[in-house]
Chains A and B, each alone.
Chain A
Amino acid sequence: EPEVTQTPSHQVTQMGQEVILRCVPISNHLYFYWYRQILGQKVEFLVSFYNNEISEKSEIFDDQFSVERPDGSNFTLKIRSTKLEDSAMYFCASSRETDNSPLHFGNGTRLTVT
C-alpha cells in the first residue's frame, strides 16, 4: 500500500539554524499538509498546499516557515531560524480529492532545537 514517507526521522539543530524537513506524499494525492505535535500535546495544523500554492495556513505558520514542492514528488517544510519552541514532531500528510478521503500521515520528523 502506498505511503507518505518523511525524512529524516529525527533532526537535531541549534537555535537560529535553518532546517528543511522532507516529505514524499502518495503519488496520486493532490492535497498536502504539514502538522506538528509538541510532545504529548494536540496535533496542530500548519499549512495546506494544493496546485503548487498554499491554500490555507495557521497563525503558527509565520514568516519563518515556508513550503515548496520543488520537483513534483517532494514536499518540503523549511524553518528559516529555528527557536527552542519549534521542537516538536512534524507530520506531513496528503489526501485525495474526495469528500471521504482521510489524511494519510507520514511517520513524522522529530525536530529537536537546542
Chain B
Amino acid sequence: AQKITQTQPGMFVQEKEAVTLDCTYDTSDPSYGLFWYKQPSSGEMIFLIYQGSYDQQNATEGRYSLNFQKARKSANLVISASQLGDSAMYFCAMREGVNTGNQFYFGTGTSLTVIP
C-alpha cells in the first residue's frame, strides 16, 4: 500500500480564494510526522508546514494550515487567500517512528495553478 496518497494531480484556484490539497497516509506506527513541501517550477523543495501525530491542534503557518484528521488518516493542506506565486507542485510527506533519521515518504504531488 502507498504510504502517502495524493489523489488530485492538478488543481485550479482563483486568486484570493482558499484551496484544499488532499493527502491521506497509511501507517500503523503511533508516532509519525506529516510534512508539506512546495516545489515551484524552478525545482527547489520548500518546507511549508509540519504536523505531529500527537499534536492536539492543527498546525498553522501564515496562510498555510493543515486539516489533520487522525481517525481518517488525512492531512490536507489549506492555502488561504491564494496568490499567483502559490502556483507550484505540492508534496505531502510522512516520516514514521521515533527514529528521526527515518526516510520521508512522499506522495505523487498536486500541481496547483492560481488563476488571476
Q: Which residues of A does B touch, CB under 8 Å? A: 30-31, 33, 35, 41-45, 48, 50, 55-56, 58, 89, 91, 93, 95-105, 107-108, 110
A107 touching B43, Cβ below 8 Å: yes
Please, could you name 21 A-B residue pairs with CB atoms under 8 Å apart, sorted by A? Answer: A42-B106, A42-B107, A45-B103, A45-B105, A48-B102, A48-B103, A93-B45, A97-B100, A98-B100, A99-B33, A99-B52, A100-B52, A102-B35, A102-B50, A103-B47, A103-B93, A105-B37, A105-B45, A107-B43, A108-B44, A108-B45
> Given A35-B106, A99-B98, 9 more contacts at CB 8 Å?
A31-B101, A42-B109, A43-B93, A45-B104, A50-B101, A55-B101, A89-B43, A102-B50, A110-B43
In the bound complex, residues from chain B placing their C-beta under 8 Å from that of A96 are 100
Number of residues of chain B lying within 8 A (CB) of chain A? 24
* Residue from A42, A99, A103 having most chain B Cβ neighbours under 10 A: A99
In the bound complex, CA of A104 to CA of B44 (Å): 10
Query: How many angstroms between the C-alpha atoms of A105 and B108 in the bound complex?
Result: 17
- Chain A residues contacting B93 (CB-CB under 8 Å) are 43, 103
Minimal beta-carbon separation of A33 from chain B (angstroms)? 7
Chain B positions within 8 Å of A44 at CB level: 106
Asked if B91 lies at the interface with its beta carbon under 8 angstroms from chain A, I say: yes
CA distance A98 to B46 in the complex (A): 19
Partner of B35, one of A35, A56, A103: A103
Structural contact, A91 and B45, CB atoms closer than 8 A: yes
Please tell me if the beta carbons of A31 and B100 are within 8 angstroms of each other in the complex. Answer: yes
- Determine which of A43, A93, A110 lies in contact with B91 in the assembled complex, contact meaning CB atoms within 8 Å: A43
Task: A56 to B99: give the CA distance in the assembly, Å.
Answer: 11
The residue in chain B whose Cβ has the minimal distance to the Cβ of A49 is: B101
Q: A95 and B100 in contact (CB under 8 A), knowing A43-B91, A102-B47, A102-B50?
A: yes
